[in-house]
């Protein structure tokens, strides 16, 4: 299945901003992180359709996953 | 020995008072709010003789504690009518603390129509003729004072909008690079202007070190605290690299980025003004700096120096709230235009949150076209900056613009402009906006940390569940942190790293030579917050003022189509503690 992955802040370094990716059925957010060589503790926020999802979230064909490292401001 | 300077503008005297025992361990917001609550009649006119303007460095300001250089200013706010504390970086907090000035209380109004510069030294305050400074904007005032004294002089100043007592006027503070930080919110520049004080200069000659009762304990705690700042990914890496503006993209993805005067929760051109773009823009230009501290001793360095493509300075302290307000809420897509407007707001001396929010309402009113950065810059400099009739309507804040043009979509609480997070799709911050003693203020209880950034746990931003308790806890903690002189960003590691908050409390205990627990620290926040609420009640505010504008209930916001759906009873639960 195909999903779109959007990366932000330091996750873009030596990677990409937006990319469509082929992933196996039942792939999770964790699987995507592993494929991108991002360790679990580095993840700040994962969002799908503007909703927070946990690393074990199972992706669905056509979804857009937005990944952020730990960021803040105010 | 610490002292209080009591400045009387009516008879032009300064009394040097001993610090009462009950103030001994207070500082920052705890001290300004305690003094305002005790000495300012709640029903007074904020620009009248009975209001007082109080400055107090934080409890830890002037010590070697990292990130402790914030100064609090307090008064009755001419914008909100509530009690107000607004804190700022710069240089004066550390100067005051090292000079042993626990607080400076400015009261009364001059009898003569004459402007003054207060000159603060170790011995007291003198009243200098400021006629040569009147009519100057802030950068010129700072330059004139640097020439008259030298670059070491501390400066707090108001621009022409402050002289004219506009309710969005701030108090600008010289920073370590001779540029500007601000006591931004609540119109405290108008209070200073009402007292005919154009500028305050601080000559710290003779200042010593801040006394620390238990230096060894202090050093040990300070080390743990600083390590926490550097170890946490937000304060140690995210903020120093991308600045606060990194929030544009995450709020956009979460659907909580108010766009076109709070009509939408996402913005198509978000990446043009995002923190990532800003970082790359600064890094790719001559003389730009992606890291900058708002005061000496800041180890987070979340600020920046923004230059044009030739390397000429445009602005610094260009924060998320301002970029959002101009770049997203006003639809100004050119980041350079936004930076120039930010610089103009520094120069004329108005709050860059109120200034940006009121511009969007002015755009909705048809005063200027959506997204027109050049016209927005002209309005800042030529209308608000010169206090023309239109400039006065605008410069009196978002609520003033809404009333003048008969609008219903006016994002204010207690007449203060709502900052950069939509309360419908980030419901916890809506509770903070509604209930804070300060008028709409995201920093009063920054639920974004837990609603969006997953710091300190996670509470679903679109659900009502848990938001009141989250906002309450953060408002109490923030009140305490605002008393320490610490940058509010210490909250990120404090929420996630167990050693950080005890280290902060240990520094306070060591500084003052007292026993203090984390519970005592929280109790201070609780006590001061309740004191502020009680003062507001005496000023005529009721629970009915703890509400968001009606349009948030009536207009669902895309993409989540969320509405503000808390009942009054649910909101009022915040005060049940």
Interchain CB distance below 8 Å, A73 and B302:
yes
Whole-number average pLDDT of chain B: 97
Instruction: Determine the pLDDT at residue B321.
Output: 97
Please indicate if any CB of chain B lies within 8 Å of the CB of A66: yes
User: For residue B104, what are the β-bridge partners?
Assistant: B5, B55
Listed residue (A64, A37, A43) closest to A55, CA to CA: A43
Contacts of B492 in chain A (CB under 8 A): 72
Structure tokens at B457: 């746990």
Q: What does the pLDDT look like over B47-94, one tens digit per residue?
A: 999 999 999 999 999 999 999 999 999 999 999 999 999 999 999 999
How far is it, in rounded angstroms, from Cα B114 to Cα B133?
A: 12
Q: What are phi and psi of B140, to 5 degrees?
A: -70, -35
Interchain CB distance below 8 Å, A71 and B460:
no
Contacts of B232 in chain A (CB under 8 A): 70
Is A51 part of a structural domain of the chain?
Answer: yes
Asked if residue B1 has pLDDT above 90, the reply is no
| CATH architecture classification, B213-239+428-577 | Orthogonal Bundle (1.10)
Please indicate if any CB of chain B lies within 8 Å of the CB of A63: no
Please indicate if any CB of chain B lies within 8 Å of the CB of A68: yes
Asked if residue A73 has pLDDT above 90, the reply is no
Q: What are phi and psi of B571, to 5 degrees?
A: -65, -45
Min Cα distance A50 → chain B (Å) is 4
In CATH terms, are B3-202 and B243-422 the same topology?
no
Interchain CB distance below 8 Å, A8 and B320:
no
Min Cα distance B428 → chain A (Å) is 14
Please indicate if any CB of chain B lies within 8 Å of the CB of A50: yes
The boundaries of the domain holding residue A31 are 2-69
Split at pLDDT 50, 70, 90, the class of B189 is very high
Asked if residue B497 has pLDDT above 90, the reply is yes
> Is the CATH number of domain B243-422 1.10.260.40?
no
- Rounded to the nearest 5 degrees, what angle is found at the Cα of B54, between the Cα atoms of B393 and B126? 100
Asked if residue B35 has pLDDT above 90, the reply is yes
> In chain A, what is the straight-line distance between the N-terminal and C-terminal CA atoms, in Å?
38
Contact B248, B275 (CB under 8 A): yes
- Contacting residues for B381 by C-beta, under 8 A, at least 6 apart: B344, B347, B348
CATH of the domain at A42: 3.10.20.30
How far is it, in rounded angstroms, from Cα B252 to Cα B266?
A: 5
Chain A residue with minimal CA distance to B320?
A74
Is A16 part of a structural domain of the chain?
Answer: yes
Domain B3-202: assigned CATH number: 3.60.9.10
Q: What does the pLDDT look like over B533-549, one tens digit per residue?
A: 999 999 999 999 999 99
Mean pLDDT of B460-471: 98
Interchain CB distance below 8 Å, B250 and A10:
no
How far is it, in rounded angstroms, from Cα B247 to Cα B271?
A: 11
Q: pTM value?
A: 0.98
Of A45, A50, A51, nearest to B453 by CB-CB distance is A45
Of A12, A51, A74, nearest to B244 by CB-CB distance is A74
What is the DSSP secondary-structure string of B35-85? HHHHHS-TTS-TTSTT-EEEEEE-TTTTSS-TT--PEEEEEE-TTTSSEEE
Mean pLDDT of B458-487: 98
Q: Cα dihedral sign for B472, B475, B478, B482?
A: negative
Domain extent listing, chain B: 3-202, 213-239+428-577, 243-422
3 state SS of B87: strand
Interchain CB distance below 8 Å, B559 and A52:
no
Contacts of B453 in chain A (CB under 8 A): 44-45, 70-72
Split at pLDDT 50, 70, 90, the class of A56 is very high
Instruction: Determine the pLDDT at residue B378.
Output: 98
Contacts of A12 in chain B (CB under 8 A): 276
Min Cα distance B339 → chain A (Å) is 18
Contacts of B249 in chain A (CB under 8 A): 8-9, 68
Please indicate if any CB of chain B lies within 8 Å of the CB of A51: yes
Is A74 part of a structural domain of the chain?
Answer: no
How many domains would you assign to chain A?
A: 1
Split at pLDDT 50, 70, 90, the class of B175 is very high
Chain B residue with minimal CA distance to A41?
B233
Split at pLDDT 50, 70, 90, the class of A74 is confident
Interchain CB distance below 8 Å, B448 and A71:
no
> In B89-110, which positions are buried (b, 16+ CB within 10 angstroms) versus exposed (e)?
bbbbbbbbbbbbbbbbbbbbeb
3 state SS of B228: helix
Chain A residue with minimal CA distance to B448?
A74
- Say what the ipTM of the complex is: 0.98
Q: What are phi and psi of B218, to 5 degrees?
A: -65, -50
Mean pLDDT of B245-274: 98
Taking only residues 250 to 309 of chain B, the set having a beta carbon closer than 8 angstroms to any beta carbon of chain A reads: 250, 253-255, 265-266, 275-276, 302
């Amino acid at each position: 299945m195909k999903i779109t992955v959007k990366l932000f802040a330091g996750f873009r370094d030596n990677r990409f901003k937006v990319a469509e990716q082929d992933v196996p059925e039942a792939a999770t957010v964790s699987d995507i992180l592993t494929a991108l060589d991002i360790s679990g503790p580095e993840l700040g926020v994962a969002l799908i359709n503007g909703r927070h999802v946990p690393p074990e979230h199972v992706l669905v064909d056509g979804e857009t996953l937005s990944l952020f490292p730990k960021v803040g401001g105010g | 020995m610490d002292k209080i300077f009591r400045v009387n503008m009516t008879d032009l005297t300064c009394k040097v008072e001993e610090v009462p025992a009950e103030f001994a361990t207070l500082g920052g917001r705890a001290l300004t709010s305690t003094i305002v609550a005790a000495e300012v009649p709640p029903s007074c006119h904020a620009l009248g003789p009975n209001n007082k303007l109080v400055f107090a460095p934080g409890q830890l300001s002037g010590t070697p504690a990292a990130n402790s250089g914030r100064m609090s200013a307090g008064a009755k706010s001419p914008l909100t009518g509530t009690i107000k504390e607004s804190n700022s970086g710069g240089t004066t907090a550390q100067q005051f603390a090292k000079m042993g000035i626990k607080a400076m209380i400015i009261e009364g109004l001059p009898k003569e129509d004459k402007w003054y510069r207060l000159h603060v030294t170790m011995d007291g305050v003198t009243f200098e003729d400021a006629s040569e400074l009147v009519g100057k904007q802030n950068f010129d005032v700072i330059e004139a004072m640097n020439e008259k004294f030298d670059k070491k002089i501390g400066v707090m100043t108001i621009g022409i909008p402050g002289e004219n007592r506009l309710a969005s006027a701030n108090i600008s503070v010289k920073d370590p690079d001779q540029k500007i930080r601000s006591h931004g919110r609540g119109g405290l520049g108008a209070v200073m202007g009402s007292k005919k004080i154009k500028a305050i200069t601080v000559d710290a000659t003779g200042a010593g070190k801040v006394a620390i009762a238990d230096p060894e304990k202090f050093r040990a705690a300070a080390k743990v605290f600083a390590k926490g700042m550097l170890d946490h990914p937000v304060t140690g890496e995210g903020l120093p690299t991308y600045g606060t503006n990194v929030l544009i993209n995450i709020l956009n993805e979460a659907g909580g980025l108010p766009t076109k005067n709070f009509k939408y929760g996402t913005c198509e051109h978000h990446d043009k003004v995002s923190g990532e773009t800003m970082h790359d823009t600064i890094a790719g230009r001559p003389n730009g700096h992606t890291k900058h501290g708002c005061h000496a001793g800041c180890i987070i360095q979340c600020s920046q120096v923004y230059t044009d493509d030739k390397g000429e300075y445009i602005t610094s302290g260009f924060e998320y709230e301002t970029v959002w307000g101009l770049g997203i809420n006003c639809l100004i897509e050119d980041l350079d235009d936004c930076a120039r407007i930010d610089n103009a707001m520094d120069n004329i001396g108005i709050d860059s949150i109120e200034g940006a929010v009121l511009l969007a309402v002015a755009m909705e009113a048809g005063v200027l076209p959506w997204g027109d950065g050049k016209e927005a810059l002209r309005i800042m400099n030529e209308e608000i900056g010169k206090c023309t009739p239109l400039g006065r309507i605008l410069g009196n804040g978002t609520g003033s613009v809404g009333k003048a043009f008969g609008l219903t979509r006016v994002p204010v609480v207690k007449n203060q402009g709502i900052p950069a997070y939509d309360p419908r799709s980030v419901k916890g911050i809506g509770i903070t906006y509604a209930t804070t003693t300060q008028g709409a203020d995201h920093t009063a209880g920054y639920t974004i940390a837990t609603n969006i950034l997953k710091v300190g746990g996670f509470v679903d931003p679109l659900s009502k569940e848990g938001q009141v308790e989250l906002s309450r806890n953060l408002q109490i903690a923030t009140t305490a942190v605002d008393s320490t002189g610490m940058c509010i960003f210490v909250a990120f590691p404090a929420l996630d790293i167990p050693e950080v908050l005890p280290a902060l409390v240990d520094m306070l205990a060591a500084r003052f030579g007292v026993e203090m627990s984390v519970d005592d620290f929280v109790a201070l926040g609780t006590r001061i917050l309740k004191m502020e609420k009680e003062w507001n009640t005496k000023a005529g505010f009721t629970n009915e003022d703890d509400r968001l504008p009606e349009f948030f209930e009536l207009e669902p916001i895309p993409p989540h189509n969320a509405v503000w759906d808390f009942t009054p009873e649910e909101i009022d639960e915040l005060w049940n503690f």
